[in-house]
Amino acid sequence: MDRSTEAQTVVFSRIPPTPPATPSPPVKRRRRTGLLVSLIVTLALVLAAGLYAVAPLRHPLPGPTIELALPATLTIPGKTPKLPWPKSGQGVIAVSGLGTLGAFGGEKPVPIASVTKVMTAYVILAEHPIGAGEQGETLTVSAEQAARYPAERARGESLVEVEAGEEITVRQALQAVLLPSANNMARILAAWDAGSVDAFVDKMNATAEELGMADTHYTDPSGLDPDTVSTAKDQVILATKAMALPAFAEIVKQKTATIPVAGEVKNYNELVGHNGVVGIKTGSTDEALGCLVFAAVVTVAGRKLTVVGAVLGQPGAQTPEQLDRVFSVTRTVLKSTTKTLAPHTLVEAGRDVATVHGPLGTGTTLRTAEKLEVIGWPGLKVKVEAQLPVVPSQIAAGTEHGQLSIQAGTGKATKTALRTSTDLVPPSIWQRIRHHQ
Q: Which residues are annotated as a binding site for substrate?
A: 281
The whole-angstrom separation of Cα 242 and Cα 231 is 16
Considering all CA atoms of the chain, what is the largest pairwise distance in Å, rounded to the nearest integer?
A: 195
CA distance 114 to 281: 8
Angle at CA of residue 332, ends 326 and 338, nearest 5°: 130
Enumerate residues 6+ apart whose C-beta is below 8 A from 320: none
Cβ-contact 117, 181 below 8 angstroms: yes
Which 3 state secondary structure label does DSSP give 376?
Answer: strand
How many whole angstroms separate alpha carbon 365 and alpha carbon 436?
Answer: 26
First to last CA, the chain: 95
Torsion (CA) 66, 71, 76, 78 in degrees, nearest 10:
-120
Helical pair 197-210 and 117-127, crossing angle rounded to 10 deg: 90
Q: Which residues are annotated as a binding site?
A: 281
Beta-bridge mates of residue 314: 290
Q: Is 410 exposed, middle or buried (0-12, 13-18, 19+ CB in 10 A)?
A: exposed
Active-site residue set: 114, 117, 181
Task: Determine contact, residues 211/176, Cβ cutoff 8 Å.
Answer: no
90 and 110 Cβ atoms separated by less than 8 Å: yes
- State the virtual CA torsion across 264, 267, 270, 275 in degrees, nearest 10: -110
Q: What whole-number distance in Å separates Cα of residue 285 and Cα of residue 269? A: 15
Pairwise CA distance, residues 29 & 22, whole Å? 17
Could you please report the per-residue DSSP string of 286-348?
TTTEEEEEEEEEEEETTEEEEEEEEEEEE--SSHHHHHHHHHHHHHHHHHHHHHH-EEEEEE-
Sort 369 into a burial class: Cβ within 10 Å, 0-12 / 13-18 / 19+: middle
Nearest alpha-carbon partner for 89 in 288, 308, 364: 288
